[in-house]
Chains A and B, each alone.
Chain A
Amino acid sequence: DTAVSQTPKYLVTQMGNDKSIKCEQNLGHDTMYWYKQDSKKFLKIMFSYNNKELIINETVPNRFSPKSPDKAHLNLHINSLELGDSAVYFCASSQDSLGGGLFETQYFGPGTRLLVL
């Protein structure tokens, strides 16, 4: 059984379009994340939700809007796509949120490869 799944795996679209990426985890975790990995493989946190509430919102354009309908799902909607949005987007989950020096194991999905033309 897949622990963290993302759809679609590949997404090719034109500049200016709006698209969504879906993520689901079946681990019973309370916290979910979205990361962006650029062409140089640098992985950077975008958002984090704990029990459907936003707890981390890094400096990300407001064209990116996460939505968590329940704690097993965290979707990412992107408006007005730009060339620079091309990257691999990873969803991840952990049992609890990070903080106060505590560490948690994060489980990553397989990634969504977004190409904006």
Chain B
Amino acid sequence: TQLLEQSPQFLSIQEGENLTVYCNSSSVFSSLQWYRQEPGEGPVLLVTVVTGGEVKKLKRLTFQFGDARKDSSLHITAAQPGDTGLYLCAGIGYSGYALNFGKGTSLLVTP
């Protein structure tokens, strides 16, 4: 099993602030995905990054895949209460057949 460590585990900020969530591993991944899970719901895919060094933007969310394909970050600009949720990173290795999930970052954005 390839382990993914996410940090911070919890984050509570005020509306309008910026934040970055990190996803790190000692293993190389062929691709990495970010999901958001809201209370009482299943995870929903936000983005997939495939190429080392790749940067993808989704409105106020910016995702980056590390050059060595071992880590990723999620940056949110001007956070809004609607961004509240559990953010999960998940990766698949070149010889893997399943997604390995990180333990998640719980984000709370207060008005």
Contacts and interface: CB of A to CB of B under 8 A. Distances in A.
Interface of A: 4, 33, 40-45, 48, 55-56, 58, 90, 92, 97-103, 105-111
Nearest to A35: B101
Contacts of A105: 45, 48
A9 to B, nearest CB: 9
Contacts of B104: 41-43
Interface in B64-111: 86, 88, 92-94, 96-101, 103-104, 106
Contacts of B45: 105-107
Given A58-B98, A98-B98, A101-B30, 18 more contacts: A41-B106, A42-B104, A44-B101, A45-B98, A56-B98, A90-B43, A92-B42, A98-B92, A99-B96, A100-B94, A101-B93, A101-B94, A103-B48, A103-B50, A107-B45, A108-B44, A110-B40, A110-B42
A103 B68 CA distance: 18
Contact of A97 (B40, B86, B97): B97
Contacts, number: 64
A97 B98 CA distance: 9
Interface residues of B, number: 26
Given A41-B106, A43-B43, A98 B33 contact: no
26 contacts: A4-B42, A33-B98, A42-B101, A43-B43, A44-B101, A45-B100, A48-B97, A55-B97, A58-B98, A90-B42, A92-B42, A98-B92, A98-B96, A98-B99, A99-B96, A99-B97, A100-B94, A101-B30, A101-B31, A101-B92, A103-B30, A103-B31, A103-B33, A105-B48, A106-B99, A108-B42
